[in-house]
Amino acid sequence: MACENLLGVVIVLIKIFGSFSQRLSYGEPCNFTEECSDHRYECLPAEEEILRCLCDRFHSWMGENVGCVQMFNASEIMNMTVTVTDNINQLEEQVEEVIKVQIAAGLFVFGMVIFASIAVTVFCIYVHVKDRKVGKTVSCKKKREGKSTLRVKPMPSTSLV
């Protein structure tokens, strides 16, 4: 029983490693680019939406005898790699949005500074007014205390000698 299980595991491992070593040539059906035998091949969709090993975008097929040959025409390579899109309007909209957000943030900070300045000024005025009221109240109480007590003049001492 153990020998049969071990044999099954070995067979599965051989199939797995065999699938990695199996390389596909030009035009053969594939699932991944790594299955293709040449570094110039890519697993690309061909007719009927079947993936096949075909030349990548920098190489062109020159027949069975030659294979994939690198393109030397710079304009053809540039046409394949560079895509020009008109993003100016989209970029302008993004810039305008960023500027509006920055303006809103600046106005918010400016408003908070003005509010804090007004709050501190009002608080200082309030404390000053309260201090003056407390000062007047204390001075009025001192005056009242002074009037209610009788001043006693010291009498000259008489000596009994």
* 37-55 pLDDT, tens digit each: 878 888 888 777 788 888 8
The domain tally of the chain equals 2
Please check whether residues 18 and 74 belong to one and the same domain: yes
| Half-sphere exposure in the Cβ direction for 15 (13 Å, CA) | 6
Burial string for 89-100 (b: 16+ CB within 10 Å, else e) reads eeeeeeeeeeee
Please check whether residues 136 and 94 belong to one and the same domain: yes
Prediction pTM value: 0.35
Cβ atoms of 53 and 24 within 8 Å: the answer is: yes
Please check whether residues 74 and 91 belong to one and the same domain: no
User: What pLDDT is recorded for position 90?
Assistant: 87
User: What pLDDT is recorded for position 35?
Assistant: 82
- Does any domain span residue 147? no
Please check whether residues 76 and 14 belong to one and the same domain: yes
Please check whether residues 60 and 110 belong to one and the same domain: no
Please check whether residues 136 and 72 belong to one and the same domain: no
* The last residue of a domain, from among 43, 66, 81: 81
Residue with tokens 């009037």: 147
Please check whether residues 77 and 128 belong to one and the same domain: no
Element (H, E) at 45: strand 41-45
Please check whether residues 20 and 71 belong to one and the same domain: yes
Give the structural domain span for 110: 86-140
Quickly count helices (H) and strands (E) in the chain.
Answer: 3, 4
- Does any domain span residue 71? yes
Q: Which long-range contacts (CB under 8 A, 24 or more apart) does 85-94 make?
A: none
- pLDDT below 50 — which residues of the chain? none
Cβ atoms of 69 and 59 within 8 Å: the answer is: yes
Q: Give me 92's structure tokens.
A: 């302008």
* The last residue of a domain, from among 31, 53, 81: 81
Distance CA 135, CA 142 (A): 11
Distance CA 86, CA 66 (A): 40
Distance CA 124, CA 116 (A): 12
Please check whether residues 110 and 123 belong to one and the same domain: yes
Please check whether residues 59 and 92 belong to one and the same domain: no
- Does any domain span residue 97? yes
User: What pLDDT is recorded for position 100?
Assistant: 96
